[in-house]
Amino acid sequence: MTYHVPVMLQACLDGLKIKPDGTYVDVTFGAGGHSKSILKSLGVKGRLFGFDQDVDAIANQIEDERFTFVHANFRYLSNFLDYYQIDYVDGILADLGVSSHQINEADRGFSFRFQGPIDMRMNRYLEKTAADVLNTYDESELLRILSGFGQVRNSKTLASAIVDERNQVKFSVMSQLVNLLDRTRIGNRAKYFAQVFQALRVEVNEEMEVLKEFLNAATHRLAHEGRFVVMSYHSLEDKLVKSVMKTGNVYGEMKRDDYGNIERPYKLITKGVVQATPGEIKENNRARSARLRIAERRRDGKRSKK
Ligand SMILES: C[S@@+](CC[C@H](N)C(=O)[O-])C[C@H]1O[C@@H](n2cnc3c(N)ncnc32)[C@H](O)[C@@H]1O
């Protein structure tokens, strides 16, 4: 089975506007689909770093002198750039979320289509699995993640049903969670399941905290005119990406200098969100929910008028 088909490849490459001698980072390497194309556009002096926290991605790394694979969470972007003695980079690409490989492997526990453990860790060295979340979180914490990260409409009912269920049998296998959701679900089954799974996955992988740390780090490490290309797949991610590209911070707060001028670290290259073409969606269903945003780093201190 194919590990992963890259989404919106040409739009990402165009967005990065690659300088042949530049230094680039693909923070979500996966099968290396985007990375391989970036390398094709780089000259002999160009460099590319590919991050992935999943041990399975190591096998995909590219044999090329210009390429360095970093088996780490992209929340540590700055630490690794320091380690490699790189101050600023010319472009950063992030294709957020999970790979098709992760979804299609039963033992990774990301999909309700398969029988397997309720796992959902992108980094298998993390201690906490989705089963641990279901088995140990207070009802109020379950409610917080189901409504906050999944926008599950009957979060209260579901949180209470999870506690009742685990008081009888601890959660371990996917069929147990699927059976429970079939009892509690409202509305469209696939949508309901997707929302609950999203909530658990985001919690297990600390995706919101990680994304905030990464967006801040990227803003500090992009060179003048460096390009920032981010593909997100759900509204929580997209909201943070949009805030950072518009205001330079994850809170979306406009900062002003002493003269009242708004400070904008980025120039927006895409005015809104760019979506995949029908042709791309036909070839790769994952492209359906992709939201691409591209921005260019302004020189520090450059301000725009009120
Ligand atoms: C959507 S796939 C990327 C696919 C890739 N663009 C390609 O063409 O093959 C996302 C990948 O990023 C990795 N990933 C997600 N969040 C990460 C994080 N916080 N740090 C490092 N890797 C992460 C996942 O393990 C997964 O392999």
pLDDT in tens, 133-171: 999 999 999 999 999 999 999 999 999 999 999 999 999
Is residue 114 domain-resident? no
What is the whole-number distance in angstroms between the Cα of residue 50 and the centre of ligand 1? 10
Looking at 149, 179, 204, the residue that finishes a domain is: 204
In 9-106, DSSP assigns E strands to 23-26, 47-51, 67-70, 89-95
| Nearest-angstrom CA–CA distance, 189 and 192 | 5
Give the total number of structural domains in the chain: 2
If one residue of 1, 27, 52, 233 were mutated to test the ligand 1 pocket, choosing by the most ligand atoms within 8 A of its CB, it would be 52
- 247 DSSP assignment: H
Residue 79, domain CATH: 3.40.50.150
Q: In terms of domains, do 96 and 133 share one? A: no
Q: Indicate whether 222 pLDDT > 70.
A: yes
Query: Average pLDDT, stretch 209-232?
Result: 98
3-state secondary structure of 177: helix
Instruction: Select from 60, 59, 32, 56 the least CA-distant residue to 48.
Output: 32
Q: Indicate whether 302 pLDDT > 60.
A: no
Q: In terms of domains, do 88 and 212 share one? A: yes
Looking at 204, 227, 252, the residue that finishes a domain is: 204
Query: What percent of the chain shows pLDDT beyond 90?
Result: 90
pLDDT tens digit string along 172-208? 999 999 999 999 999 999 999 999 999 999 999 999 9
Query: What percent of the chain shows pLDDT beyond 70?
Result: 98
> pTM of the prediction?
0.95
Q: Indicate whether 303 pLDDT > 70.
A: no
Q: Indicate whether 306 pLDDT > 70.
A: no
Write out the DSSP string of 120-170.
--SSTT-S--HHHHHHHS-HHHHHHHHHHHH--TTHHHHHHHHHHHHHHS-
- Residue 193 is part of which domain span? 127-204
Pairing mode, strands 291-297 and 266-268: antiparallel
Q: In terms of domains, do 220 and 296 share one? A: yes
Answer whether 73 contacts ligand 1 (Cβ < 6 A).
yes
Q: In terms of domains, do 147 and 292 share one? A: no
Q: Indicate whether 299 pLDDT > 90.
A: no
Q: In terms of domains, do 81 and 224 share one? A: yes
Is residue 112 domain-resident? no
Is residue 107 domain-resident? no
Answer whether 99 contacts ligand 1 (Cβ < 6 A).
yes
What is the whole-number distance in angstroms between the Cα of residue 139 and the centre of ligand 1? 31
What is the whole-number distance in angstroms between the Cα of residue 29 and the centre of ligand 1? 5
Is residue 268 domain-resident? yes
What is the whole-number distance in angstroms between the Cα of residue 57 and the centre of ligand 1? 9
Q: In terms of domains, do 182 and 67 share one? A: no
Q: In terms of domains, do 158 and 223 share one? A: no
Q: Indicate whether 214 pLDDT > 90.
A: yes
Minimum CA distance residue for ligand 1 atom 5:
30
pLDDT tens digit string along 71-110? 999 999 999 999 999 999 999 999 999 999 999 999 999 9
Is residue 105 domain-resident? no
- What pLDDT, on the 0 to 100 scale, is given for residue 304? 46
Q: In terms of domains, do 172 and 211 share one? A: no
Ligand 1 atom nearest 211 alpha carbon: 19
Please provide the average confidence, as pLDDT, over all residues in the chain: 95
Is residue 119 domain-resident? no
Q: Indicate whether 1 pLDDT > 90.
A: no
- 37 DSSP assignment: H
Looking at 152, 171, 204, the residue that finishes a domain is: 204
Q: In terms of domains, do 297 and 215 share one? A: yes
CA atoms within 13 A on the CB side of 76: 12
